[in-house]
Amino acid sequence: MADKSEDRKTEQGEESLEEMFAALDGLVARMESTDVTLEDSFTLYNQGMEMLRRCNEKIDAVEKKVMVLDAQGQEQEF
């Protein structure tokens, strides 16, 4: 039986949404830390924004897969 973390990996071996959300939570926690410099905060912010962009792309792709065509060729949400 496959490991659940392996099940969440995409076919290309990219991180799953769950893993990316966890990483974003970690970035936010690090940014909230009082011992992070302003420069490091900007770096973390940029990393988080890039990760958020990738999350949005994955969500958009999932939404497109969920749309199905009914018998008359009309789109319906699944």
Query: How many angstroms separate the first and last alpha carbons of the chain?
Result: 28
- The pTM for the full model equals 0.65
Closest of 4, 22, 3, 18 to residue 59, by C-alpha: 18
Q: 13-72, pLDDT tens digit by residue?
A: 788 999 999 999 999 999 999 999 999 999 999 999 999 999 999 999 888 777 765 656
Cα–Cα distance, 39 to 18 (Å, whole number): 28
